[in-house]
Structure 1
Amino acid sequence: MRRPNVRNRLYAEAVIDWLLDSDPSIRWQVMRDLLGAPEAEWKAERAKVETEGWGARLLAHQDEDGQWAGGAFVPRGFDYREWQQVGQPWTATTFALSQLREFGLDPVTDRARRTVELIGANARWDHAGQPYWEGEVEECINGRTVADGAYFGVDVSSVVDRLVGERLDDGGWNCERANGSSRSSFASTINVLEGLLEYERATGGTPESRDARASGEEYLLQRHLFRRLTTGEPADERFLTFLHPNRWRYDILRALDYFRSAAALTGAAPDRRLGEAVDRVRSRRRPDGTWPLDWSLPGRVWFDVDDGPGRPSRWVTLRAMRVLKWCDQTP
């Protein structure tokens, strides 16, 4: 993987200024991941997520019982015709928690701890009324529940054990397994991998969870993050475009950012099989040094955090820059 040239470094300086002229949820990650700022400095910026900007705005929509929109996966009283006609809603508890984790809400704050307690006491999954932190039945949902729970200090070991047991023979996961699918999917696998990584970061993991995470990574690496193993063709052309927030959807930038995050925990160097995906990310840099938002999921949201498809995206740009920094600085 090639080293950045002078022109790219000049891009980076201007783009970093643009990123810093933003929300605290982006600024603290730029300070930590791109600038290498002292921990005390980026932690001070991270603390603002609770009281300023998007983090505070999302927290302001929280119900008194700790949930968002009165439901775990969909809003209370949701009419499924809206899903068919407009799109899946993204305002319920599970998506709010995942977004707060992405924003970087500090899990040790009183507000975060109280939120976790209230959700544990009051939130029930729409599927069959299961207590929220015990998980649902679908691998994608449970992967994100593990990620959120582990991040916010919840014991989600029982859900981890279930996910480990649901791994398919090819090494990954598929949320259609219960309906007979025997082949893993990119989307289900990345959702579970992110959960297992957050669990490992919080607890050290178990031999079984670490083995499962390794096999899930190998599933993606064998396919160079986007290709069919059988034909070598892209499994889905949208895997090569950039989406935010991803929710449950997959793209190569999400996968690369996962591998970067995993390497921060384990010290692993970039696998050579990431190279093609990295080159595709590099090729999508705009002339001004930013990366675009290619598309966004339809459906109800509390508010937008990007300027819309086709425009430069701070979130996509942050991800792309820290992935390239990791790859380019690794000997």
Structure 2
Amino acid sequence: MTLDPVLGDWLLDSDPALRWQVERDLTGEPEAVWLATRSRIASEGFGARLLALQDADGQWAGGAFFPRGFDFDGPEAAPGAGQPWTATTWSLNLLRDWGLDADALAGTAELLAANSRWEYDDLPYWGGEVDCCINAYTLANGVWLGADVSAIAQWFLDHQMDDGGWNCEWVDGSTRSSFHSTLNALKGLLYYETVSGGTAAVREARQQGEEYLLRRRLLYRLSTGDLVGPWTMNFTCPFRAFYSALNAADYFRAAALHDRRQSDPRLAEAIDAVRAARRPDGTWLQGQTHPGRVWFDVDVSTGEPSKWLTLYATRVLDWWDQDA
């Protein structure tokens, strides 16, 4: 792609976790170049800092999804206080998303199998639990680290709703899918397929889940045609568990490239929303960030130009425009 040199230099002046993706997806560097940058994640910057915070038992913050000792009745658990983002699952998500080589975490899968249990019913870590978002993260992190998570892949087939998506509140009786839950499930299934090859049944379930979002053009309620929520337009990094038009569009780019298929025209309005948020200098501003305890900041504050958002949004638009 043709990238403004000033914008390109700004993006390249970044942590290796971000820089290698800029080199691969935006500036067109040879594979040897971006692979060399990616290899630095374990020893420099964000990746090295987060790796250094791993506990001896393989966990982070002493817990699977919440830090050890988290007070579920305390102020940090109050509405609006935000999920703590320091425990094992969230830390693994970041390291995997950044592109860390799994070899840097050799032995972690075994340590978690021995030492980590879900806060829900004390279930074993690599068996997953009842929340489909948590299971999606565990599916992706497990296949990345070499754990046997085939039973979690089957769990998604068994818990797919009649409308094609998923909802973390199924355990409370929900029978309609959720944008947030479905996108997280899709991301986990796609990563599982990419690493393991998947199965025909997993691929079919994933594509049915994609149809759930595509029928709604990634933005709207099927019943009324209204915008499903203002959060669709809140572009913020890290994405965490939250749906946005950009998060979804970045997923569909990855899925189309994986499946070697053309972009779907039903993405057009979501792509337009991403394009409309671009500033004249080619950057995207950080949206309203999600509150909650973190180890350290990996992106800018609300209202500032975000290199992460600019990477994701620029590569989505480049893919879409080239595919048009």
Q: 2:68 aligns with which of 60, 76, 84?
A: 76
1:29 equivalent to 2:25? Answer no
1:122 equivalent to 2:140? Answer no
Q: Partners in 2 of 1:73 and 1:105 — Cα distance?
A: 20
Q: Partners in 2 of 1:68 and 1:103 — Cα distance?
A: 17
1:43 equivalent to 2:35? Answer yes
Q: Partners in 2 of 1:119 and 1:130 — Cα distance?
A: 12
Residue 230 of structure 1, CA deviation: 1.0
Correspondence for 1:283: 276
State the Cα deviation string for residues 37-91 of structure 1 (Å, max 9, x = none): 2222111110110000001111111111110000001111111212217322110
Correspondence for 2:95: 100
Residue 153 of structure 1, CA deviation: 2.7
Aligned residues of 2:238 and 2:299 also touching (Cα < 8 A)? no
Q: Partners in 2 of 1:283 and 1:70 — Cα distance?
A: 42
Q: 1:141 aligns with which of 134, 137, 145?
A: 134
Q: Partners in 2 of 1:227 and 1:265 — Cα distance?
A: 26
Q: Partners in 2 of 1:178 and 1:74 — Cα distance?
A: 20
TM-score under structure 2 length normalisation: 0.96
Q: Partners in 1 of 2:181 and 2:197 — Cα distance?
A: 22
- More divergent stretch after superposition (196-205 vs 76-85): 76-85
- More divergent stretch after superposition (38-47 vs 80-89): 80-89
1:239 equivalent to 2:245? Answer no
Task: Give % identity.
Answer: 55
Correspondence for 2:304: 311
Residue 151 of structure 1, CA deviation: 2.5
Q: Partners in 2 of 1:151 and 1:194 — Cα distance?
A: 13
Residue identity matched to 1:84: A
1:199 equivalent to 2:186? Answer no
Structure 2: where are the runs of 5+ without partners? none
1:53 equivalent to 2:32? Answer no
After TM superposition, list the pairs within 5 Å mapping 1:144-293 onto structure 2: 144-293=137-286
- More divergent stretch after superposition (263-272 vs 160-169): 263-272
Aligned residues of 1:226 and 1:240 also touching (Cα < 8 A)? no
Q: Residue 16 of structure 1 aligns to a residue in which SS?
A: helix
Q: Partners in 2 of 1:36 and 1:117 — Cα distance?
A: 37
Q: Partners in 1 of 2:288 and 2:256 — Cα distance?
A: 28
State the Cα deviation string for residues 87-142 of structure 1 (Å, max 9, x = none): 221100000000001111012x2x32222222222111110121111111111110
Structure 1: where are the runs of 5+ without partners? none
Q: Partners in 2 of 1:15 and 1:113 — Cα distance?
A: 37
Residue identity matched to 1:196: L
Residue 31 of structure 1, CA deviation: 0.9
Q: Partners in 2 of 1:77 and 1:146 — Cα distance?
A: 25
Residue 322 of structure 1, CA deviation: 0.8
Aligned residues of 2:139 and 2:149 also touching (Cα < 8 A)? yes
Q: Partners in 1 of 2:259 and 2:5 — Cα distance?
A: 29
Q: How many residues align?
A: 321
Q: Partners in 1 of 2:25 and 2:257 — Cα distance?
A: 10
Q: CA RMSD in A?
A: 1.3
Residue 154 of structure 1, CA deviation: 2.4
1:320 equivalent to 2:313? Answer yes
Q: Partners in 2 of 1:116 and 1:38 — Cα distance?
A: 32
Q: Partners in 2 of 1:87 and 1:256 — Cα distance?
A: 25
Aligned residues of 2:285 and 2:302 also touching (Cα < 8 A)? yes
Q: Partners in 2 of 1:29 and 1:192 — Cα distance?
A: 23
Aligned residues of 1:244 and 1:295 also touching (Cα < 8 A)? no
Residue identity matched to 1:153: G
Q: 1:301 aligns with which of 294, 307, 311?
A: 294
- More divergent stretch after superposition (32-41 vs 307-316): 32-41
